[in-house]
Amino acid sequence: MRNSKVLMAAITGASLLALAACSQGTTTDPTSAESSTSDAGSTTEVTGDAPAPFDGDVRIAIVQQSGQGDYFQQYLNGTRQQAEALGVELDVYDAQGDNATQASQLDQAIASGVDGIVVRHGYPDTLCPGVNAAIEKGIPVVIYDVEIQTCAPDAVQTQQSDADMAGLVLDQMLKDIGSDQKVGYVNVAGIAPLDRRDVVWRAALDANGWEQMFYTGSFTNSTATDTAPMVSSALKSNPDVVAIYAPYDEFTKGTLSALEQNPDIADGIKVYGADISAADIELMAAEGSQWVATGATDPNAIGAAVTRTLFLHMAGELPNGATVDFPPILVTQDFLRENNIKNMDDLRAAEPALNISDVSGADWIPAVTF
Amino acid sequence: MPEQLSGPTAMNRVQDGVVKYGFIAVTVILFTYFALTEPAFATSSSLFSMLKFTSVTAILGLGVTFTMVVGGLDLSIGSTAGLAVQLAAMTMVFYNLTGVTAVVVVLIGGLAVGLLNAFLIVICKIPDLLATLGVMFVIQGAKLIPVSGQSVSSGMVLRDGSVAPGHFTEGFLKIDRGFVGPVPLPVVIMLALVVLSWFVLSRTTWGRLMYAIGANPEAARLAGVRVGVYHGLAYVISGVFASVGGLILVSRIGQGDVNAGSSSLLEAVAVALVGTSVLGLGKPNAWGTLLGALLVGIVLTGLTMKGFQYYHQDTAKGLVLIVALLFSFTLSRRKVRYTPAT
């Protein structure tokens, strides 16, 4: 009995040592699991010499509100690969959706003495004190998709251009259905990127003489499932709409399943969405799918472009308070079918513009493409 | 085990040493390891931000410690902290009242939840875990009813189209963002509550009676202790501590985040459990809880600096807990005093 307990102590101690030993190994090995995902990138040619501080050792941090889910994993993959491409060390602070933790982690990133910080998503009220503290300490900060201009005007702002994403799709919708039509709308208020798309939608309604017959949608933990019955009811009372705009792919999915439940009404209604993923591509390209166009960006490419923006800012080639938008592309159902596109890799091959490798580019930065 | 009757052997002494100092040794070893391999780890600004990061978990953990001492477990602390976040935001943003008023409202809210738990457990005789589980869900939902499930922020547009009249006051935001000398204010609050909890638990009759109730409520009752009073008191303290944690959270976030506090429960319970193994006491105690929170803080900060992802860190947190439990349950020759009542 006694001996077995002593043995347990020995095993405990040994396993702790083993744990410590493992951690040492992983950091020095650049080909660890995170960087060898399927979205491995290649890099563009470098012709210029890296300016200071990139002539020495550089460490940056990304402070992200949440890293869970495909989108954010791809985003981080892009960030990681872009940092590696320039030989920069990257610390990842992930608040797992907890805003208080994100504030603390921003403090920790600053305290750890990194040379530059990317802050991704979160509340302005939560992040502004930390962002301003970092800038005061001389640490350049690039923000992605936080409305922080008023309280931290010196941070560099970046975002996916939601206005362009909506504009491209709505232009296509106008081409397809013409003006003076009855249309439906699936969206919610209060979520920054969706609000930006909403502004474009309302302008398009006015400009094209479209009549909005219904406006519904529900943003929850299971958005698509919860939105479907709402769209279904709206369709029943407004069977004469010719097109529906659902500017978020979960809304688009909900709309598609509502159409499926109402085959007698659904015929001929065109659905215009937003975002892209492998699952979205499959849905759009499927036989009889009514999802005809979407606006797309590649999270890998955006993660990389944000990092390049930070590099430019750190090198003094981008001033405080600058704004950088990452443009989306239009993806239509016809395009997917003609080019036999089945997944994101096919789409990237057919549409290299998704890489946005010219955004925040410089001759000394090897831009990662996917 | 007859050999134990004939006094401790050399092996026993080694084993006791491992149990008594093993946990502290692990903390020191990990700290030293991170300090040596990551130059940024042991700087004063990094350590203070780590302590600040740890403060909410530690304060909620202290509340849990009280309930563990009386043989229960408060599962409602995360929701109570979340309730504090909503109450503070509503008091200042909707009703345009001062930061001091918000603090008072929040503390009353925590007290009320504690009394509700005490009522259900002591008067209605619902087992601790089940009563606090129910209260957890009720508070989690009820706190969102007056705000229609939306986060309350300064300058928000209300349902009738007008702009909310109030905002988070500068003074209130200082709860998290202020300093006493070089020390962040939440760290000072945490240390004050640790000392207070230690004093109450170890140096007062109340505390000793609480431990007695946790060890054997029937014996305590037969000895003339008013078991219900002290049992309920532990939950009231827990509720108030949780609301203090919530105050720090909301001033850190700067708005009434609907999700705030929800992730705090398991961490607080974990650090209180880890704390039972400190110095081989085998029972919940205030300093142990603080040390448990610090160890988790050290591990998370160190692993982040080493470039690990969040799922590695969750794994590491779990391992810390298991190692600590090995010290107190498996290796200890002393009978462990904490077994949760159901």
Cis before B184? omega within 30: no
Q: Which residue of B has its CA nearest to A123?
A: B253
User: C-alpha distances in angstroms, B99 versus A128, B96, B184?
Assistant: 20, 9, 19
Same domain? For A143 and A194 the reply is no
Q: How far apart are CA B199 and CA B194, in angstroms?
A: 8
Q: Does any domain span residue A5?
A: no
Considering its fold, how many domains does chain A have in total?
2
Inform me whether the C-beta atom of residue B260 falls under 8 Å from chain A C-beta atoms: yes
The strand ranges marked E within A207-321 are 211-216, 243-245, 270-272, 291-296
* Domain at A234, CATH number: 3.40.50.2300
Q: How far apart are CA A227 and CA A294, in angstroms?
A: 18
Confidence at A89, pLDDT banded by 50, 70, 90: very high
From A273, A296, A319, give the residue that closes a domain. Answer: A296
Q: How far is A193 from chain B (nearest CA, A)?
A: 17
Interchain pair A126, B12: CB under 8 A: no
pLDDT over 90 percentage in chain A:
65
Say what angle helices B264-275 and B286-305 make with each other, to 10 degrees.
120
Kindly list the residues from chain A whose CB atom is less than 8 angstroms away from the CB atom of residue B1.
1
Confidence at A4, pLDDT banded by 50, 70, 90: low
Nearest alpha-carbon partner for B268 in B234, B296, B240: B296
**Facing residue for A6 by CB, picked from B14, B305, B316:** B14
Pick from B151, B175, B185, B309 the residue to mutate for testing the A interface (most A CBs within 10 Å). B309
Q: Are B37 and A24 in contact, with CB atoms under 8 Å apart?
A: yes
Same domain? For A263 and A222 the reply is yes
Say yes or no to pLDDT of A99 above 80: yes
Q: Are B34 and B298 in contact, with CB atoms under 8 Å apart?
A: yes
Say yes or no to pLDDT of A114 above 70: yes
Q: How far is A64 from chain B (nearest CA, A)?
A: 11
Q: Are A255 and A231 in contact, with CB atoms under 8 Å apart?
A: yes
pLDDT at A179: 94
Same domain? For A233 and A255 the reply is yes
Structure token pair of residue A263 = 């085959």
Compute the average pLDDT of residues A149-157. 92
> What angle is formed at CA B143 by the lines to CA B141 and CA B149, rounded to 5 degrees?
75
Task: Give this complex's ipTM.
Answer: 0.83
The secondary structure of residue A142, as a DSSP letter, is E
Q: How far apart are CA A82 and CA A77, in angstroms?
A: 9
Structure token pair of residue A122 = 């979160």
User: C-alpha distances in angstroms, B101 versus A219, B108, B240?
Assistant: 34, 11, 16
Instruction: Give the 3-state secondary structure percentages of chain B, helix then strand then coil, rounded to 5.
Output: 70, 0, 25
Nearest alpha-carbon partner for A103 in B137, B127, B251: B251
Q: Which residue of B has its CA nearest to A34?
A: B309
Interchain pair A125, B153: CB under 8 A: yes
Nearest alpha-carbon partner for B247 in B89, B62, B93, B139: B89
Interchain pair B323, A12: CB under 8 A: yes
Output B151 or A30, whichever has higher pLDDT: B151
pLDDT at A11: 55
Same domain? For A274 and A316 the reply is no
Range of the domain at A53: 41-154+299-327+354-369
Q: How many Cα atoms within 13 Å fall on the side-chain side of residue A94?
A: 21
Interchain pair B15, A6: CB under 8 A: yes
Structure token pair of residue A218 = 């529900």
The secondary structure of residue B163, as a DSSP letter, is B
Q: How far apart are CA A294 and CA A332, in angstroms?
A: 6
Q: B133, exposed or middle or buried, with CB in 10 Å at 0-12, 13-18, 19+?
A: middle
Give the residue ranges of chain B where pLDDT is below 70: 1-7, 333-342
Same domain? For A48 and A102 the reply is yes
Inform me whether the C-beta atom of residue B331 falls under 8 Å from chain A C-beta atoms: yes
Contacting residues for B265 by C-beta, under 8 A, at least 6 apart: B60, B75, B77, B78, B79, B136
Nearest alpha-carbon partner for B184 in A120, A180, A257, A129: A129
Interchain pair B263, A20: CB under 8 A: no
pLDDT digits (tens, 9 = 90+) for B106-159: 999 999 999 999 999 999 999 999 999 999 999 999 998 988 877 888 888 777
Compute the average pLDDT of residues A124-149. 93
Same domain? For A182 and A257 the reply is yes
The strand ranges marked E within A114-195 are 116-120, 141-144, 156-160, 182-186
Q: Tell me the pairing of strands A329-332 and A291-296.
A: antiparallel
pLDDT digits (tens, 9 = 90+) for A298-343: 999 999 999 999 999 999 999 999 999 999 999 999 999 999 999 9
Q: Are B66 and B197 in contact, with CB atoms under 8 Å apart?
A: yes
Inform me whether the C-beta atom of residue B5 falls under 8 Å from chain A C-beta atoms: no
Say yes or no to pLDDT of A47 above 90: no
The DSSP bridge partners found for residue A116 are A60
Q: How many Cα atoms within 13 Å fall on the side-chain side of residue B278?
A: 20
Interface of B with A in 180-199 (CB under 8 A): none
Pick from B85, B305, B314, B333 the residue to mutate for testing the A interface (most A CBs within 10 Å). B305
Same domain? For A303 and A291 the reply is no
Q: How far apart are CA B164 and CA B130, in angstroms?
A: 38
Same domain? For A183 and A100 the reply is no
Under DSSP, is residue A169 helix (H, G, I), strand (E, B) or coil? Answer: helix
Q: How far apart are CA B143 and CA B152, in angstroms?
A: 12
Compute the average pLDDT of residues A92-113. 91
pLDDT at A31: 38
pLDDT at A170: 97
Query: What is the layout of strands, in order, in the sheet containing A89-94?
Result: A89-94, A59-64, A116-120, A141-144, A156-160, A323-326
Q: Does any domain span residue A347?
A: no
Under DSSP, is residue B183 helix (H, G, I), strand (E, B) or coil? Answer: strand
Output A340 or A23, whichever has higher pLDDT: A340
Q: Which segment of A63-72, A86-95, A287-296, B174-183 scores lowest on mean pLDDT? A: A63-72
φ, ψ for residue A316, nearest 5 deg = 80, 10
Q: How far apart are CA A162 and CA A200, in angstroms?
A: 9
Under DSSP, is residue B282 helix (H, G, I), strand (E, B) or coil? Answer: coil
Concatenated DSSP letters of B4-17? GGG---HHHHHHHH
Nearest alpha-carbon partner for A134 in A161, A107, A166: A107
Interchain pair B46, A99: CB under 8 A: no
Q: How far apart are CA A134 and CA B45, in angstroms?
A: 13
- Select the CATH number that applies to the domain covering B38-155+166-331 from these four: 2.40.10, 1.10.3470, 1.10.10, 1.10.150: 1.10.3470
Under DSSP, is residue B56 helix (H, G, I), strand (E, B) or coil? Answer: helix
**Facing residue for B307 by CB, picked from A5, A27, A97:** A27
> Which H helix or E strand runs over A93?
strand A89-94
Nearest alpha-carbon partner for A97 in B264, B172, B75, B174: B264
Say yes or no to pLDDT of A192 above 90: no
Compute the average pLDDT of residues A125-150. 93
